[in-house]
């Protein structure tokens, strides 16, 4: 359906995503129109396509799917346009005077003969020229954004593109849309390729192939954690992506990209390894910094054994020899790895090191990759711990994120301790270590048997495998008693042994279910009734962990079933549909990406800031259908508001994937151990899930599935050059021997 009219009033506009509510003067009636638009001004004529809908709160509305802007053509429309407040120095009186003077030629005069405006009282030549430029700029921006929308580019991205290229936007798009991938944040290969296809750019264009190479390398990092790909694998994936059968063309473009500094080729044992220039710089920088810290950090003149004895007396405990050895190494070397499973005393070592170092007047910084992990570290040590991003002071001044602390402005710390280091991808780890000052120390604490980072790289495993950094393996288990089986079963699983499933403990239970449908019903029963009654906890405090996202007992379906059971829809008008999910007040949700710019406030503490991170869990506290928006209060009290275009950053969290649970601990964990994918249903996946629980584990499934997971020690290979780079760098420094 199509309607047209002039804008009487812009009732509401979200500047972040362009969602706009308009009062449209259609001549014989006023119509409320809603949709996503470029900046609009009262008086502009619109030709709109869309459909009518009935909003429960605001009544009849026209929901716009396509829009065309027509310049004002009546005196009233021109007056509204000029008096809108958008044009600096032009109020209602001046706008009326200009329109009265030039009538239907007003806009033509403003654009092409602005000097004539100076004839109007109150309009100087300077003001006239400024008005002309503002009108032309608005016209150019509107037409460019609407031009981009024909290529299915969202308003947010269209605005970013226009800000980058201004009047040259169309020329850039039509010459080489793949430039957008490198030059505009948020534009990926698939978006650029869609534009190129509509423009008729050939499938075998060298521009297209070059962009495809970059995209495949990027996706290899995002989806599989690789920092490089073997050349043959890269060529094959590019051919498949681009529907090309021309390996010679791809290799030729690849050589061009090497010359242009876009990618790097390195010979390894498996042939040529191809890395993006960014990945290469990151890994080489990490290697150099590690070697530098190991060679330039002197042994501290401390009587470690005496200090450890003092710590033991102060806290009425006895450290195992493995813990004492780790502490000695942390004093003797610039970089150390402390690794062990749950209950092996990693936290005790951190506490002891903090006390020893601070008594010497040294400054110690504690950090972790996620907010939940940092909070847990603070609680267990009594010392303040921050996320890596907060420690490095992530700043968005200038529109692009950068860390305040870096190789130029170093952290004011003698020692940096990073916990849950297995979760650190190479980008985060690189940012951290380059901010450590010369002579500073790094202590890396984590569990090498946990799942690797979601992002690219395998930092903890690679540092260990390099053989250059001292590694302190903790095997003696402390955190257990006769009645607890969480820790003991976790270690049994890690050793390839079946956990004890006799249900005689107070904290580890097994519930048999032979089919996915039966398991799903058991999950609902457990969360809604059985566990709350037994453990005296709220259903929302029980965290369901699933190996997979799809399927009957996948994250998505379990979330829908638990939402209906725990927070059913009582009023369809009070929920916001986001994709296949409806968000309601009271829903448990999780933030799924790092959004460093998202603003938050904490009314309880009277604080505000920016940054909501992957894995943050909270509750929906309000839903606004008109804006539309969703407010979420997270566990630490922060409240963030999500607008259209940001809804894909949150999802229901009654159930989450085991991968998503890394770095977090929950009082009660329910594990749905079912799946057929050999590469997913692995030992370290089950081990990671069990170690997320503090007070209770309920393992749900059939014995055969649990046995398969325990036996399956498969770990997906991650391509990384960090081990080789560390060793090469050490050799160049004349260091042929590895650290003990």
Read off the pLDDT of residues 243-253 as tens digits, 9 standing for 90 and up. 899 999 999 99
Look at residue 152 and tell me whether its pLDDT is greater than 80: no
Strands 271-276 and 263-268: antiparallel
- pLDDT at residue number 521: 95
Angle at Cα 417 formed by Cα 412 and Cα 420, nearest 5°? 140
Look at residue 52 and tell me whether its pLDDT is greater than 70: yes
Mean pLDDT across 588-606: 85
Tens-place pLDDT, residues 199-215:
888 989 999 999 999 99
Both tokens assigned to 587: 């829903």
Is residue 676 a contact partner of residue 663, using CB atoms and an 8 Å limit?
Answer: no
Distance between CA atoms of 732 and 101, rounded to whole angstroms? Answer: 80
Strands 385-387 and 508-512: unpaired
Distances (CA, A) of 108 to 71, 111, 267, 582, 639: 10, 5, 64, 49, 49
Is the CA virtual torsion 447, 449, 455, 457 positive or negative?
positive
Residues sharing a CB contact under 8 Å with residue 717, sequence separation 6 or more, in sequence order? none
Of 281, 292, 293, nearest to 431 by C-alpha is 281
Q: Look at 280 and 91; give whichever has higher pLDDT.
A: 280
- pLDDT at residue number 217: 95
Mean pLDDT across 692-707: 91
- pLDDT at residue number 299: 79
Mean pLDDT across 142-150: 79
- pLDDT at residue number 269: 67
Query: What band does 691 get if pLDDT is binned at 50, 70 and 90?
Result: very high
CA atoms within 13 A on the CB side of 295: 16
Unique residue bearing structure tokens 């379906």? 557
Both tokens assigned to 454: 């979601």
Tens-place pLDDT, residues 467-503:
999 999 998 887 555 557 999 999 999 999 999 998 8
What's the N-to-C CA distance of the chain in angstroms?
75
To which H or E segment does residue 206 belong? helix 206-224
Is residue 105 a contact partner of residue 69, using CB atoms and an 8 Å limit?
Answer: no
Angle at Cα 372 formed by Cα 369 and Cα 377, nearest 5°? 80
Q: Which strand ranges, in their side-by-side order, compose the sheet holding 335-340? A: 385-387, 364-368, 415-418, 441-446, 335-340, 471-474
Helices (H), 588-702: 683-690
**The three-state (H, E, C) secondary structure of 139-175, written as one string:** HHHHHHHHHHHCCCCCHHHHHHHHHHHHHHHHHHHHH
Query: What band does 17 get if pLDDT is binned at 50, 70 and 90?
Result: low
Is residue 117 a contact partner of residue 98, using CB atoms and an 8 Å limit?
Answer: yes
Residues sharing a CB contact under 8 Å with residue 15, sequence separation 6 or more, in sequence order? none
Is residue 201 a contact partner of residue 220, using CB atoms and an 8 Å limit?
Answer: no
Look at residue 740 and tell me whether its pLDDT is greater than 60: no
Tens-place pLDDT, residues 292-312:
999 888 778 888 999 999 999
Beta bridge partners of 708: none
φ/ψ (deg, to 5) at 637: 95, -10
- pLDDT at residue number 410: 95
Distance between CA atoms of 126 and 124, rounded to whole angstroms? Answer: 5
Residues sharing a CB contact under 8 Å with residue 263, sequence separation 6 or more, in sequence order? 213, 214, 217, 254, 257, 274, 275, 276, 277
- pLDDT at residue number 635: 85
To which H or E segment does residue 69 belong? strand 59-70
Angle at Cα 461 formed by Cα 460 and Cα 462, nearest 5°? 90
Distance between CA atoms of 733 and 726, rounded to whole angstroms? Answer: 11
Q: Is 427 helix (H, G, I), strand (E, B) or coil?
A: helix
- The single-letter DSSP state of residue 490 is H
- pLDDT at residue number 480: 54
- pLDDT at residue number 349: 95
Both tokens assigned to 224: 């599989």
φ/ψ (deg, to 5) at 734: 75, 20
**The three-state (H, E, C) secondary structure of 311-377, written as one string:** HHHHHCCCCCHHHHHHHHHHHHCCEEEEEECCCCCHHHHHHHHHHHHHHCCCCEEEEECCHHHHHHH
- Average pLDDT across the chain, whole number: 88
Distance between CA atoms of 656 and 658, rounded to whole angstroms? Answer: 7
Q: Is 17 helix (H, G, I), strand (E, B) or coil?
A: coil
Q: Give pairs for 603-606: CB < 8 Å, separation 24+.
A: 603/637, 603/639, 604/637, 605/637
Both tokens assigned to 120: 């109007």
- pLDDT at residue number 739: 52
Mean pLDDT across 35-43: 81
Unique residue bearing structure tokens 């390099």? 466
Q: Look at 73 and 560; give whichever has higher pLDDT.
A: 560
φ/ψ (deg, to 5) at 403: -90, 130
- pLDDT at residue number 382: 92
Strands 402-403 and 693-701: unpaired
Is residue 71 a contact partner of residue 23, using CB atoms and an 8 Å limit?
Answer: no
Distance between CA atoms of 171 and 177, rounded to whole angstroms? Answer: 9
Q: What is the largest CA-CA distance in the chain?
A: 95
Angle at Cα 72 formed by Cα 66 and Cα 73, nearest 5°? 120
- pLDDT at residue number 479: 57
Distance between CA atoms of 622 and 603, rounded to whole angstroms? Answer: 15
Unique residue bearing structure tokens 């130029």? 408
Look at residue 67 and tell me whether its pLDDT is greater than 90: no
């Amino acid at each position: 359906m199509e309607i047209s009219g002039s804008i009487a009033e812009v009732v509401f506009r979200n500047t972040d995503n362009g969602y706009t509510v308009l009062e449209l003067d259609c001549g014989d009636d006023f119509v409320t129109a809603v949709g996503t638009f470029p900046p609009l001004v009262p008086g502009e004529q619109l030709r709109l396509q869309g459909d009518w809908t009935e909003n429960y709160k605001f009544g009849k509305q026209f929901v716009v799917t396509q829009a065309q802007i027509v310049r004002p053509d009546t005196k009233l429309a021109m007056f509204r346009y000029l008096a809108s407040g958008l044009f600096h120095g032009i109020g209602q009186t001046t706008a009326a005077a200009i329109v009265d003077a030039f009538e239907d030629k007003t806009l033509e005069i403003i654009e092409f003969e602005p000097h004539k405006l100076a004839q109007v009282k109150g309009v100087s030549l300077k003001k006239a020229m400024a008005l002309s430029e503002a009108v032309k700029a608005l016209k150019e921006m509107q037409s460019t954004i609407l031009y981009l929308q024909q290529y299915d580019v969202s308003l947010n991205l269209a605005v970013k593109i226009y800000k980058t290229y201004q009047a040259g936007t169309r020329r850039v798009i039509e010459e080489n849309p793949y430039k957008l991938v490198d030059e505009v944040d948020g534009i990926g290969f698939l978006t650029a390729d869609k534009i190129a296809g509509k423009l008729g750019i050939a499938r075998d264009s060298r521009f297209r192939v070059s962009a495809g190479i970059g995209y495949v390398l990027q996706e290899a990092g995002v989806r599989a954690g690789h920092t490089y790909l073997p050349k043959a694998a890269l060529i094959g994936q590019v051919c498949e992506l681009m529907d090309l059968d021309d390996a010679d063309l791809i290799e030729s473009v690849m050589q061009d990209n090497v010359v242009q500094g876009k990618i790097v080729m390195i010979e390894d044992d498996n042939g040529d390894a191809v890395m993006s220039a960014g990945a290469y710089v990151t890994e080489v920088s990490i290697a150099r910094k590690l070697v530098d810290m190991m060679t330039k950090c002197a042994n501290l003149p401390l009587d470690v054994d005496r200090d450890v004895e003092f710590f033991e007396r102060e806290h009425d405990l006895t450290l195992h020899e493995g813990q004492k050895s780790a502490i000695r190494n942390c004093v003797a070397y610039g970089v150390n790895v402390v690794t062990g499973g749950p209950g092996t005393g990693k936290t005790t070592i951190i506490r002891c090191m903090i006390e020893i170092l601070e008594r010497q007047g040294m400054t110690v910084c504690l950090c972790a990759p996620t907010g939940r992990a940092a909070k847990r570290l603070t609680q267990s040590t009594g010392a303040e711990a921050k996320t890596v991003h907060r420690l490095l002071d992530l700043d968005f001044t200038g529109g692009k994120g950068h860390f305040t602390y870096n190789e130029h402005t170093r952290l004011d710390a003698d020692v940096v301790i990073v916990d849950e280091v297995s979760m650190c991808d190479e980008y985060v780890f690189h940012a951290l270590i380059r901010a450590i000052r010369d002579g500073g120390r790094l202590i890396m604490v984590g569990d090498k048997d946990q799942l690797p980072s979601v992002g690219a790289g395998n930092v903890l495993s690679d540092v260990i495998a390099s053989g250059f950094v001292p590694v302190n393996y903790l095997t003696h288990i402390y955190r257990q008693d006769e009645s607890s089986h969480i820790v003991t079963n976790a270690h049994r699983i890690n050793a390839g042994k079946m956990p004890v499933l006799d249900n005689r403990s107070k904290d580890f239970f097994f519930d048999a279910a032979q089919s996915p449908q039966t398991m799903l019903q058991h999950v609902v029963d457990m969360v809604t009734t059985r566990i709350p009654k037994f453990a005296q906890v709220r259903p929302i405090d029980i965290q369901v962990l699933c190996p997979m996202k799809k399927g009957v007992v996948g994250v998505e379906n379990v979330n829908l079933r638990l939402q209906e059971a725990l927070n059913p829809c009582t009023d369809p008008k009070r929920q916001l549909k986001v994709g296949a999910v409806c968000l309601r007040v009271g829903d448990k949700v999780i933030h799924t990406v790092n959004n460093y710019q998202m603003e938050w406030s904490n009314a309880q503490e009277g604080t505000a800031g920016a940054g909501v991170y992957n894995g943050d869990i909270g509750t929906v506290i309000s839903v606004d259908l008109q804006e539309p928006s969703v407010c979420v209060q997270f566990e630490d009290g922060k409240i963030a508001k999500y607008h259209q275009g940001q809804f894909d950053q949150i999802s229901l969290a009654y159930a989450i994937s085991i991968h998503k649970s890394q770095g977090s601990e929950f009082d009660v964990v329910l594990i749905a151990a079912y799946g057929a994918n050999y590469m997913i249903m692995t030992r370290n996946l089950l081990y990671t899930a069990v170690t997320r629980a503090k007070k209770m584990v309920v393992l749900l499934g059939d014995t055969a599935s649990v046995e398969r997971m325990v036996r399956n020690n498969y770990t997906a290979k991650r391509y990384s050059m960090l081990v080789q780079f560390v060793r090469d760098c050490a050799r160049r420094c004349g260091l042929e021997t590895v650290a003990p």
